[in-house]
Amino acid sequence: MSAPTIGVLALQGDVREHRAVLEQQGARTVAVRRPEELEQVDGLVLPGGESTTIAKLADRWGLLEPLRAALGGGLPAYGSCAGMILLADRLLDAPADQQTIGGLDVTVRRNAFGRQVDSFESEVAVQGLGGPPVHAVFIRAPWVEEAADTVQVLGRVSGGPADGRIVAVRQGDVVATSFHPELTGDTRMHRFFVELVRERS
């Protein structure tokens, strides 16, 4: 299949930016707000935003179970920032009732870089992308505190107080980054995901 259809979860967050980069990489995109829309996609991107809000809206719109079923059925997914939180099986520093979709056997800490640190930027070498390190933009970002052996660590922070923290992971066809590649003009993360979806569809 030459042009896979990639859904972008469009409940809240930077949906437009993701769609633009995915389309640049040759994918068709659809905004996913309803279970029917989820059925049409070969892959799904979960954008950054506010994970508590996205989870509540997904629950209210009857999307949470369909999302879990789709991921459980092997739908490729890529989550950035809040999207990583939504894909995590376990959360730290989250409200006790915060739900996730799950799919990644990791423990993710929300706002991990410190509440006072609104955003920062750093170079992160991401395995599998080729080329130089990614210029990673972190905005009230989570990190992966713990990952199961079945999870491949694709990237870690290097240097500074968060040195060594895991910020990019993959488990099967589920990929997540703490940072926001859609904001930097670096299209490699999206290309990587579009290729992954293309191989599966």
Among candidate residues 81, 121, 123, 145, the one labeled active-site is 81
- Binding-site size, ligand GLN (CB under 6 A): 11
What amino acid is encoded at 3 in this protein? A
* Contact flags string 159-188 toward ligand GLN, x per CB under 6 A: ------------------------------
CA distance 87 to 16: 20
76 forms part of the interface with ligand GLN (CB under 6 A)? no
Contacts 24+ apart (CB under 8 A), 120-125: 122/157, 122/158, 122/159, 122/160, 123/158, 124/155, 124/156, 124/157, 124/158, 124/167, 124/168, 124/179, 125/155, 125/158
139 forms part of the interface with ligand GLN (CB under 6 A)? yes
108 forms part of the interface with ligand GLN (CB under 6 A)? no
Taking the CB of residue 39, how many other CB atoms lie within 10 A of it? 11
Q: Which residues, 3 to 22, sit near ligand GLN by CB under 6 A?
A: none
Residues 6+ apart with CB under 8 A from 47: 8, 9, 13, 14, 15, 17, 18, 80, 81, 82, 83, 182
Asked if 180 is an active-site residue, the reply is: yes
**Is 140 labelled a binding residue?**
yes
- Of 45-53, 160-168, 169-177, 192-200, the window that binds ligand GLN (rule: CB under 6 A) is 45-53
Using CB under 6 A, pick the residue from 25, 29, 51, 171 that binds ligand GLN.
51
49 forms part of the interface with ligand GLN (CB under 6 A)? yes
27 forms part of the interface with ligand GLN (CB under 6 A)? no
48 forms part of the interface with ligand GLN (CB under 6 A)? yes
Report which of 84, 91, 171 is spatially closest to residue 136, judged by C-alpha positions. 84
**Is 49 labelled a binding residue?**
yes
Place of tokens 């369909």: 66
Asked if 39 is an active-site residue, the reply is: no
Q: For residue 97, how far is the Cα from the chain centroid? A: 21
- Which residues are the active-site residues? 81, 180, 182
**Which residues contact ligand GLN by CB under 6 A?**
48-51, 81-82, 85, 110-111, 139-140
